[in-house]
Structure 1
């Protein structure tokens, strides 16, 4: 089947749909729709889809297209829910049960016939976490049900009927900042967390701290500290601040200034000198549930196994965070465990260097360099840990250098449903480092390594295991127990595994030293970072300030141009994306 994905961005749900459909043997293209109706119409005409699906849309598909082609829309809400703030309302109002619905496009937004729906218990968690996990998994289940229904002769989707007992939702308006406002003198901790969770990612909750308007992000409850409601009563080494409530306190990990060019950073960074000099610095409490914005890295002992958890906001790893994680790894290794499990974060495993930190720095080129050097140092430490069995347990999505990081381990286990993006070039034609020219070909061969890094396409956990990028793809519900069993099984074979590991490292070093891989990669990256007209800086700026991507790596035009000699030309890249000849490729 020919399936066209129409999306406002090549986001996590669109990528998951892309890999699921591609793995199942369907012909899939992705068209990023930012409002150019003629370009979208051309994509439909060229691709001639049997089915169009919109996993993530912020504007309606033109009527002439959904009337001509069967078009299904993913709505992150229960049956009957309508409007652009579905998850926001559900989280803020603390619903117990929520869902996702796949419905047919019609003139009335979110009111078309229903092809499939799924419900799930609604965790009290940030919106992005629920979206990446329950909503996307539910949407994929709806996708397969819809495709099965397409094969059923005479199948008709059922119309939305508010008289039906299953239609528990209703039309809701777009949530405004007035709806999100926190009254620190009245709202209890649970309600404050619901407000911040509901605004997670975009737009954040607008508030004021020390006379500065800021958006609040990344919050959790504090179990012990108390103070005057609304007052900042402590900070953490990680950059979070603690703010008292009427019945307790909350930690707030990230703030975004309400100003032109405001960048979301740690709360301490944003507030800077406005914070009192004598504000207590609080160490993480064992009572504070992990993950949290106070303790980004945690070492957990399980006999001869050490589990190293690292949960960095949005999976981005700054220079300091890379150094922190390297220190934690070396501390864990110094305790002589048989196995170290790199467990990553609960919502994202890693996305490589921290583009927000770089964009906010006084010298973006210098900070980019410091960040990639720190990332390389971390990965080198893992590669050289020949006395320990290292297992990367990739339970959530990975991208860029964060997708190379697990390859430094001896074994890579990936949860089914995870999407991997082992490439860099769509960030202004970055060459990439993290020893990828050593680690990636070592697993998949040079030809496939080049295809992965130049194709800029996501791959599924199942596909990663098929091509040996991962050792196993494990069903989601069994992942944690399977990782534990896998690590335990390596304890007895520790001596043999580490002996083979040291021998292989010695042979690899004799063939080509690690330092040479690093030098060659960083030579390219130096050009990317320090060349004045490098497109990396414009692409990074566009990413940080959420301007639309220049192209989809699976767009109709691009796929057509590579499939047919003399076929339709690939899309013209904007100046943000176009590499000057001297970048070093």
Structure 2
């Protein structure tokens, strides 16, 4: 098929490589423009642009699609059979949705209709879902509301982090989109029941509230790896938490209290009113690398009865 590919982050790279490798004619790749990044604030190309240029594909990086008639006309002039969208970062206007002969297909990182929206991978882990997956959806004007063409499922285990699930779903997306293009299945309307929305994550979502129960905080730590990460405060200093585990505790202590030298931290009570605690496994001070808890304790130990948060 003659197609356009619209994507920006690492998640969108495997599907782009697969489409190119399968011999589809990729008329243009659309991605977000280079942005200032790092301490020097030098402009950095997104992962999709880097790969597209490596493959010798034409790249377009419009600042905006909506309200720009020239950009929309140039898209229509490509004469596309289909457009494939994966974490592009802009909402496609109606004119672009209607331009390809077969419309636009979206690779969405959830099992729709659960977790429509901006951050479905983190939302699934944070909520304690037993599984996640990738859905190929026919795009329409609503937010992730279009009919579904195919889906693949993966389990979410207690060890699953946002980074792990991201890579699993990105890998799944490549053969799935090829299969849909090769043999398009009949579209299935999304059910009205079970709709949930994943909000756009912000840095403050990673701040730990130690009055939550330990299981909820552990899901927060794993869901928000690598971004926005999770953090607490130690004597006014931001302390990043890289990993933790549920720890036994018998008596209720003030939330955020360090209970022992192994960095067991008191959390809130569970649904049955029982005290809970987490043992920190990896943590990081500003300007330092993330390190195991025992190495951290040998350098700048956190004393029992210290309060975090």
Query: Do the two structures share a fold, i.e. TM-score over 0.5?
Result: yes
Compared CA separation, residues 61 and 47, structure 1 to 2 (3 A):
same
TM-score normalised by the chain length of structure 1? 0.38
In 2: Cα distance, 1:217 partner to 1:58 partner: 28
- 1:250 paired residue number: 280
Could you tell me how far 1:223 is from its partner in structure 2? 7.3
Could you list the per-position Cα deviations for residues 119-177 of structure 1 after superposition, in whole angstroms to 9, with x for gaps in the alignment? 221123221211111x1233224313321334xxxx642222225xxxx4423444566
In 2: Cα distance, 1:13 partner to 1:176 partner: 19
In 2: Cα distance, 1:80 partner to 1:278 partner: 47
Compared CA separation, residues 192 and 41, structure 1 to 2 (3 A):
same
Is the counterpart of residue 208 in structure 1 residue 208 in structure 2? Answer: no
- 1:429 paired residue number: none
- 1:4 paired residue number: 4
State which structure, 1 or 2, has the greater radius of gyration over its C-alpha atoms: 1
- 1:100 paired residue number: 134
- 1:14 paired residue number: 12
Compared CA separation, residues 42 and 204, structure 1 to 2 (3 A):
farther
Contact 2:119-2:198 within 8 A present in 1 as well: yes
- 1:472 paired residue number: none
- 1:219 paired residue number: 243
In 2: Cα distance, 1:138 partner to 1:179 partner: 28
Structure whose residues are more often helix by fraction: 1
- 2:289 paired residue number: 266
Compared CA separation, residues 64 and 234, structure 1 to 2 (3 A):
farther
In 2: Cα distance, 1:252 partner to 1:277 partner: 14
Computed over aligned residues only, the root mean square deviation of the Cα atoms, in angstroms, reads: 3.6
- 1:80 paired residue number: 113
Match of 1:50 among 81, 95, 106: 81
Structure whose residues are more often strand by fraction: 2
The correspondence of residues 356-505 of structure 1 with structure 2, limited to 5 A, is none
- 1:195 paired residue number: 220
Could you list the per-position Cα deviations for residues 254-299 of structure 1 after superposition, in whole angstroms to 9, with x for gaps in the alignment? 56x6xxxxx8x5247xxxxx9996628xxxxxxxxxxxxxxxxxxx
Compared CA separation, residues 195 and 48, structure 1 to 2 (3 A):
same
- 2:31 paired residue number: 32
Could you list the per-position Cα deviations for residues 494-526 of structure 1 after superposition, in whole angstroms to 9, with x for gaps in the alignment? xxxxxxxxxxxxxxxxxxxxxxxxxxxxxxxxx
Compared CA separation, residues 178 and 253, structure 1 to 2 (3 A):
closer
TM-score normalised by the chain length of structure 2? 0.67
Moved over 4 A (4+): 175-181, 222-225, 227-230, 232-235, 274-278
SS of the residue corresponding to residue 247 of structure 1 reads strand
Compared CA separation, residues 209 and 78, structure 1 to 2 (3 A):
same
- 2:301 paired residue number: 279
